[in-house]
Structures are given as structure tokens and as C-alpha cells.
Structure 1
Amino acid sequence: MSSESSPRPLPLLRAMIDALDRELLQIMARRMSLVAEVAAYKRAHGLHIRDVTREREVLADRARHAEALGLPPGEIESIFRLLLRASRDQQAALRAEVAPDVAPLTVAIVGGSGGMGRVMARVFGDLGHRVLVVDLNTELRAEEAASLADVTIVSVPIDATDAVIRAVGPHVREDALLADVTSIKEAPVSAMLASTRGSVVGTHPMFGPSVHTLQGQRVVLCRARGDAWAEWLTQAFVARGLVVTETTPAAHDRAMSVVQVLTHFQTQVLGLTLARLGTPLPETLRFTSPAYLLELYVAARHFAQSPGLYGPIEMRNPRSADVTAAFEQAAAELSEIVTSGDQARFGAMFEEVRAFFGGFTAEALEQSSFLIDRIVERTETA
């Protein structure tokens, strides 16, 4: 074989790839500098950070170019989705969606040293507001902070929420706002309305404090008193990239009985069953499928957190008993079908549930396949 056809040495090839990767990073840095200019333009012209139409155009264009270059369009689309998310984060950090003439306010975060309290402090601090952090370890007392603040946000454990609201509520000025970030809404909103003459808004961030980005994360908002403050709070959340869903406290708690109570309950049943079956976890991992691994990640993540967080979410929702009873009934029915070997009833059950999901199944197949692919990638390199 001639020397011309011989492959170049592996160390050389790797060095060349490293150099190209550094060039890619330089290009990304130049891209982010342009994003900073975009943020300034949007702020000056009152434009929203997220432009979904533009994002779709970018993704479609990059996928077409990737395919023309012989690159996998799906993988390239995933890379550009991450770039677009980073761009939105950059624009939010640069306050792209905050009008230049918006006056900074004083925002007190009661429970500001906790996980969600720190998130709220970052949200309003990034928007240029003066943030007062109040917690058990601060000299500043909650009542004092509430009397000084334009906005007081209660971010404490559910079990303490009502008592803290009733303590700080009377100190909130009539022209100010009292809000909370609790996972249930009917009881806290009622307590806020009863304890203050100021405006009242109930909120529930549908994410935990460990999220890598606020972009696209959902927060539920319940207007209770004072539309002007509700609009202000909505604009603040949107300016930081959050998606706001408005509802009533009763509708929120009804939805959370499914979104949180049912989800957490079935995860806990899975975890408790695994712990008591007697089969060591490492043994099952030797034979794991991607779907099983995904379920394990969700369960292990759940139990790695505080029971003091999840217990009150499930125990204080007014519809928890109905949801857990429905779960037990469904589990008993399915157990009977499986142990009896009745394939006809098993198929009928499948059809009933498939009909409930309807067209959502197509999205579920696509998105879960994407997640499974990412999990396989990461476990292969672990």
C-alpha cells in the first residue's frame, strides 16, 4: 500500500479534531456576541425574547443544510435547539424584555435562602429590582421586610405557609403586592386575602430549583385581588423566559391532584415495590432497557429529595383521597387481569387508555424516543 493511501496517525487526527472543536467554540462565542446586540434591539423596540416563528425557520434551515452536507438532520436540530435556548438565556440575562423606563422596585422574598426562594431572588434581581432576602438566618424579620417592600413573596414550606402569610400580611401596604409560590393554591390564596388589604396573587412554579434554565419553564398564576399587580408579575415572569398559565385556585388544585399527586404517588409505589421485592438494584441494571432506566432515574431522583416537600403536596391537596382511591382501584383491576391471564380484557384495557391519550401518543413516541436516545448516549460514555 502506498504512503499516500495510508491513514494519518490517530494522535494527529485527534489533534486536528480538537483544533476544529476550538474553532467551533470561537464561532459560538461570536454568535453570542451577536445575540447581545439582538437583546439590545429587542429591548429598545419592545419585542419579546422568544420568536417561535423565527426559531422554526432557523431549525428547518439548519436541518436542510445539514442534510445537504451529509450530516444527520435530527442530531443537528438538537444542537441548534440548545443554541437557541442559550441565546434566550443570554437575552433574558441582558434584560431584553424589560423596558428601559421601568422603575426598579423593592421585592422581599420570605424564605429567600431556600431553593425556590433563591430562584425568585434571581428572577427579580436579574430584572433590576432591589431584593430583600428574609429567612430564619437573617437579621431582617419578615414583618419588617413586608412593610418596606413593594412586593412580598412567601416562599416557605407548605406546612408553614399559612402561618407566615398571616404574620406578614397585615404589614403589606395597601398599594403593594403579597404573593406566594406554594404547590397548593386554595388555602394560601384565602389566607392572603384574609390577612392583607393589598393586592394578592397566587403563583406556583412548575419546576424545581435545580433546573438548568428558566427558559420555557411554566409558572401558574392565580389572580385574586389587583389586576395591575397581576399584570406586573406576569410581565416579570415572561421577561425571564417563563411561560405563564392563568387559572383559579380551585382549578389549579384540581389539576395538581393529577399532575403532582397522582404522578408522585405512582412513583412512590414503584420505589416502595422495588425496595421490598428483594431483587438488588445492580442486578436489574445488568439487564436494563432504556425505558426501565428512564423510570429508575425518575424514581431515584424523587427519593433523593425531601419527604418534607412531597408529603404536604400530596397530603394537603383537597382531592388527594379521590386520586389515590382511583389509583388503588385501577391497580387492583389490572392485577386481576394479569394474574387471571385474560388477554381479551388486557387488550380492552389497552384500547381504553389508548383512546384517552388519542393524538398525544404520536408526540409521546417521538419525545420519549428522543429522551431514550439521549440516555443511551450518556450511559455509553459514563
Structure 2
Amino acid sequence: MFEHCVVAGGTGAVGRMFADRLAASGAEVLCVDPAATGPGAVADDICAPGPATARALAGADLVLLAVPEAVALDAVRPVTRLMRTGALFADTLSVKEGVARRLRAEAPGVQAVGLNPMFAPSLPLPGRPVAAAVVTDGPAVRDLLALIADWGGQVVETTPDEHDRQTAAQQAATHAAVLAFGLALGELGADVAALRATAPPPHRTLLELLARVASGTPEVYWDVQAANPHAEAARQAVGRGLERLGRAVAGHRPEAFEALFDELRSTLGERNLTELADACADSFARPR
């Protein structure tokens, strides 16, 4: 299926996850990274491939870029010029439409798909969703998505634009809400240890989310907020939601507060409301 693969950024967490999976599936994998060392790796710039990297790109069945967006955009032309007919170009960017536009302009005949594992690479892949934003479909795209499914990933196909709009809600709005919650605790002078001692399940869950985000790499969360063209609208929507809540309470209008709940139930829909509420109840019932 994929005998020869090049993974640019293969020393990073996401690139390493895919490189290891591909190697375990029988592929010969070359990791290209300026900081790469050791066997199966070459220290090189994917935007200006040296002789060894160029040979590997020319013979690859799959070239996967697990690099920042600016690097991926600059790499599209030199990489696709070297790829053979029928080979697959893939990326793991958190924002898809930019690289999709570049691929359509620079390499319209190259099969391409953007992958976004919707979980931290430190977590196991089986059972977790992997968004697949198809740019140019073809047999190699189908083979890669089938391989990810064989690994146990839950492949969810989308378009680059749909992907970016969805992740603005899933990631940008979510992270903004969690970060704002943490900043509010700081402004309130909260004693987190004291909060934990009596925290009801919703508060405890938010504290856990805040701790997970705060212990992560800021650059990852910066990319979510800064690179997605729909992230600003998502943050503004979160802010407007707080303002609407504040107006309902400040105006001493319980009917307006109740109307907000009616709106929330409508947004969720009956089936999602029931299933998600049950899932939350199950989660809260587990002892910590």
C-alpha cells in the first residue's frame, strides 16, 4: 500500500505518531527534520530539499508534512515538483484551507488530503476521531484513510473549509472559554486548592481542562487561535454569550434567563441533549 514514506517534521509528537504507525504497517519511513538524527532520518529543510531528501521524495508513495503552516505552505511547490505520479501529499495542520488553496494552485494533479487527529498525540489512536479534509481525491487518498481506519482511528471526512469552520467551534471557542475561566479565577484571587476541596463535578471538570491546557505547549494553542480564519468570530461569539447572560441577570429578568436555556436546548437538539446529558451524568458518577 505505502512502501516508501517521507514524514517531514517526524521528530515532533504528531509526526512521530504517524511515522511509527506507518513503520509498524511495514513502510520504509524517512523522517526529514532540521533536528533529525539517527537511522531513518535526515537533517534537512523540507522547503529546500537536499540530494538525499530529493531522492526520497521522488520515490515516495506518501509524503506527510507534520510541520507549522508557514513551513508547509513554502514546501508545497518544491515537494510536489519532486513527487511521482500517483503519490500522495498529506499534512497534519490544524488549519486546512490555506494549504488546500496552495495545493490547488501549485499542484492540482497531486492527490492530497489534510489530516487532523482530534486528540493529543500522547493519547492512543484507537477509537479516536481523525478529521480528513480531502483536497484532491484518488486511490492513494482512499488507501491512507483505510489504513488509518485499520489502525483503529475514526475517520471523519470533510472539506478544508468545513474543517476550519468546525474546528473554530470545537477548538478555538472551547479553548478560549477554558482560558477565560482560568483568567477569571486569577482575577478573583481564587485559592485553587480550596476550590478543589469542595468542587462540584462541573467545576472540577473545568479545573481539569484548565490544567491540561495550561500544562501544554502555548504554541499549539496559539496556532488554534491565530491561524484559523474563523477563530476571531468564535471568540467574539463566546464573549457575546457572556454578555447576554450578564444582561439577563443584571436586568433581574428570570424570563430572559429561561429563554437562554430554551435557546441552548434548541441549539443542541433533542437527541444530542439527551445523549450528551447522559454521558455527562456517567462521567460525573465516576469517583475521582
TM-score (norm 1): 0.67
Change (3 A) 1:283 1:163: same
Root-mean-square deviation over aligned CA pairs: 1.8
Query: Which structure shows the bigger proportion of residues in helix conformation?
Result: 1
- 1:221 aligned residue: 132
One-letter amino acid matched to 1:353: L
- 1:321 aligned residue: 232
Partner Cα separation in structure 2 for residue 276 and residue 373 of structure 1: 31
Aligned ranges 1:256-295 → 2 under 5 Å: 256-295=167-206
Partner Cα separation in structure 2 for residue 233 and residue 135 of structure 1: 22
Contact 1:186 1:253 in 2 (8 A): yes
Per-residue CA distance 1:164-212 (angstroms, 9 max, x = gap): 334433222233111101111110122233344532222221121011x
Aligned match of 1:337 in 248, 253, 266?
A: 248
Q: Does 1:368 align with 2:280?
A: yes
One-letter amino acid matched to 2:60: A
Aligned ranges 1:59-78 → 2 under 5 Å: none
Contact 1:174 1:199 in 2 (8 A): no
Partner Cα separation in structure 1 for residue 2 and residue 272 of structure 2: 43
Change (3 A) 1:166 1:309: farther
Aligned ranges 1:134-213 → 2 under 5 Å: 134-138=32-36, 139-141=42-44, 142=46, 143=49, 144=53, 145-196=56-107, 197-211=109-123, 213=124
Partner Cα separation in structure 2 for residue 331 and residue 219 of structure 1: 31
Larger radius of gyration: 1
The Cα shift of 1:104 comes to: 5.0
Contact 1:154 1:165 in 2 (8 A): no
The Cα shift of 1:283 comes to: 1.8
One-letter amino acid matched to 1:286: A
Unpaired runs of 5+ in structure 2?
37-41
Contact 1:177 1:200 in 2 (8 A): yes
Change (3 A) 1:361 1:140: same
Per-residue CA distance 1:42-67 (angstroms, 9 max, x = gap): xxxxxxxxxxxxxxxxxxxxxxxxxx
Query: Which structure shows the bigger proportion of residues in strand conformation?
Result: 2
The Cα shift of 1:252 comes to: 1.2
One-letter amino acid matched to 1:368: C
> How many residues matched?
273
Partner Cα separation in structure 2 for residue 372 and residue 157 of structure 1: 37
Contact 1:202 1:221 in 2 (8 A): yes
Q: How many percent of aligned residue pairs carry the same amino acid? A: 27
Mean CA deviation greater in 173-182 or 234-243:
173-182
Aligned match of 2:262 in 327, 334, 351?
A: 351
Change (3 A) 1:104 1:364: closer
Query: Secondary structure at the residue paired with 1:168?
Result: helix
Contact 1:165 1:192 in 2 (8 A): yes
Q: Does 1:233 align with 2:144?
A: yes
The Cα shift of 1:308 comes to: 0.7
Aligned match of 1:117 in 15, 27, 34?
A: 15
Contact 1:155 1:181 in 2 (8 A): yes
